[in-house]
Homo-oligomer: A and B are copies of this chain.
Amino acid sequence: MAKEDTRARIIAEGARIVHLKGFHSAGVQEILRAADVPRGSFYFYFSSKEEFGLALIDYYMEYFLGRMDAHFRSSGSSPLTSLRAFFNEKLEDFRDAGFQGGCPIGNLAQEMGDLNEAFQSKLREALEQITERIAHCIRSAQEQNEIDPALDPLKTADFILNSWEGTLMRMKVANDDEPLLVFDRMVFEHLLGQ
């Protein structure tokens, strides 16, 4: 039980540090120090840095999907309005974070996606889970005549997610909200607008 608690603390601190610095740059000792765990005990909790990285993806996804599901469950708006509001809620988060960090899943996909097969398949699955939720929203919006039924829900959702990831990458160098405002306008007024 204590071992599980410590492991969870390492993951939580690791998630924060990897989000800001990247997976390769985040040192194991730095993460242990932040988690207040004795130097050198990393391999008591994880068989490898890879296993730790894969656990980070689960951690990020549990948070993100939980938040996404809570948003859609509690939203009293139409599916399209609710989807737009979700992205604009994230925009507020990024304003608060000074446009730093971006998407932890997107960062790992960029850094590790073509270097490590275990990361690749886990990240592919993670992004597909997000896509599936966006697609569900698009289908509901189509049933309510909010979105053109000619748009393929899954491909449209994939495109929106990929565009969002690129938007967050651009945000890091723009250091302002302009890329996010452009995303909002282009996706919701032009692509999905009727």
Chain A residues near B (Cβ < 8 Å): 20-22, 24-25, 99-102, 106-107, 109-111, 113-115, 120, 123-124, 127, 151, 155-156, 158-159, 161-167, 169-170, 172-175, 178-179, 182-183, 185-186, 190-191
Contact = CB atoms under 8 A, between A and B. Distances in A.
Contact of A99 (B114, B156, B179): B114
Nearest to A172: B113
Given A22-B24, A158-B170, A166-B162, A110 B107 contact: yes
Q: Is the interface of A mostly helix, strand, loop or mixed?
A: helix
Q: How many copies does the complex hold?
A: 2
Given A162-B179, A166-B164, A191-B190, A173 B24 contact: no
Contacts of A155: 182, 185-186
A182 B127 CA distance: 15
A114 B102 CA distance: 9
**Which among A170, A178, A190 has the highest number of chain B CB atoms within 10 Å?**
A170
